[in-house]
């Protein structure tokens, strides 16, 4: 019976890291670590889903959909935040991890799983963050140019 209770309570650093990489934007890592009552985990869902809706709108309605311009960067920010959380989890020392998430349980070695997860998160997070900045900047300058053109025509 104790083995089952230990298995249920143990929070793996490797699992937390890879959940952050694969579904962290939806709050999967926080749900895994803190349970379904974690308010911050639930706060991941609205901006991520709005960003996905913006990506869908751009796919269906084209690049001229201004609402999609505003929503897509939300997805990029949430993906970047998820990758950062995965990196932080992966780079937390094992002793500190066990003290915080597995108090009273014997320490376990994590090996290479979190390190590989951190590398993937760094790569993906960098790409997503730079793409989000480029997309938002491009759309901002296109909006400014269109506004200036309308002002010249009307004045």
Give the C-alpha separation, 29 to 92, whole Å: 15
Instruction: Give residue-wise pLDDT tens across range 49-104.
Output: 999 999 999 999 998 888 999 999 999 999 999 999 999 999 999 999 999 999 98
10: pLDDT strictly greater than 50: yes
Task: Summarize the confidence of residues 14-35 as an average pLDDT.
Answer: 97
Report whether pLDDT(6) > 50. Answer: no
CB 121 within 8 A of CB 90: yes
pTM of the model: 0.87
Q: Which of 102, 126, 122 is nearest to 114 (CA)?
A: 122
Among 37, 39, 132, CA closest to 78: 132
CA distance 19 to 26: 10
- Give the single-character DSSP code of 92: S
Q: Which helix (H) or strand (E) holds 64?
A: none
Residue 8 has pLDDT above 60, yes or no: no
Domain ranges of the chain: 10-154
Residue 107: pLDDT over 50:
yes
């Amino acid at each position: 019976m104790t083995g089952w209770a230990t298995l249920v309570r143990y929070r793996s650093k490797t699992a937390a890291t890879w959940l952050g990489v694969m579904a962290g934007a939806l709050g999967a890592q926080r749900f895994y670590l803190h349970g379904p009552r974690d308010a911050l985990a639930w706060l991941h869902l609205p901006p991520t889903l709005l960003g996905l809706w913006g990506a869908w709108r751009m796919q269906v309605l084209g690049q001229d959909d201004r609402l999609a311009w505003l929503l897509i960067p939300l997805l990029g920010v949430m993906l970047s935040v998820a990758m950062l959380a995965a990196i932080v989890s992966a780079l937390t020392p094992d002793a500190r991890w066990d003290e915080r998430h597995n108090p009273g349980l014997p320490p376990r070695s994590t090996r290479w799983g979190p390190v590989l997860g951190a590398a993937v998160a760094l790569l993906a997070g960098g790409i997503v963050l730079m793409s989000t900045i480029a997309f938002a900047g491009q759309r901002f300058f296109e909006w400014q140019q269109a506004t200036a053109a309308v002002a010249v025509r009307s004045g």
